Amino acid sequence: MDARLFDSAFRGDVNTLQELIVEDPLILHAVTVTTSNTPLHVAALLGHTQFAMKVMQNYPGLADELNQQGLSPIHLASAKGHLEIVKGMLVLRPDLTLIKDEDGNIPLHTAAIRGRREILSQLFTTVSANELTSSRETVLHLAVKHNRYQALELLIQLANQYQIGNELFNAVDAGGNTIFHLACAGKKSKVMNDICCSFQVFLFSSKTNIQ
């Protein structure tokens, strides 16, 4: 990567970025064959929203690139909790909700692992919520596995809102475990167990009322 381009990405310097694009309109295209971390990766990691949006507007395809850790820019932004960058990326590229990293995780999975509630709200859709990891884990499995009980509470609310709570709660991973099994089997917090138990009671009550 051109040292000036990397430096501008590191500092979030939009003016220098614009000057470089005027000087060489293909400068953003060239970085994909010369470096692993693109300017968009750097901006997404450091939370430089305006810089990231300028890059996206000039070369939206850069959002598909994976770095040496196997992560796309939106995975990095989701992991770090940079909400405005995630929102801006999705405005320009709604399909990024389903982009997979090297391990097969979508940004929603990354946000659940890191417990990023605001990011989860932005990325959660009926389609993304039904995406599974390579181990057939749902986003709920990941929240339980990583003891992100506040994220789990939000995910349960969103699942109910989208009317897919029953499917997600009863989904089993590659080991045949529901989220309730994981919460009970592992050394998870009492709060996590209480949430899972409460949701199980809610589902049973809802099913009984329908009958």
- Asked if the domains 1-102 and 132-211 are classified in one and the same CATH topology, the answer is yes
Q: Are 28 and 58 in contact (CB under 8 A)?
A: yes
b/e per residue 82-113 (b: at least 16 CB within 10 A): bbebbbbbbeebeebbebbbeeebbbbbbbbb
For residue 99, the model assigns a pLDDT of 98
Q: What are the residue boundaries of the structural domains of the chain, listed by start?
A: 1-102, 132-211
Q: How confident is the model at residue 195 (pLDDT cuts 50, 70, 90)?
A: low
Architecture of the 1-102 domain: Alpha Horseshoe (1.25)
Superfamily of domain 132-211: Ankyrin repeat-containing domain (1.25.40.20)
For residue 105, the model assigns a pLDDT of 98
Which tens digits make up the pLDDT trace of 97-145?
999 999 999 999 999 999 999 999 999 999 999 999 999 999 999 999 9
Question: Is the pLDDT score of 200 beyond 60?
Answer: no
Q: Are 41 and 35 in contact (CB under 8 A)?
A: no
d(CA 39, CA 62): 9
Q: How confident is the model at residue 31 (pLDDT cuts 50, 70, 90)?
A: confident
Q: How confident is the model at residue 203 (pLDDT cuts 50, 70, 90)?
A: very low
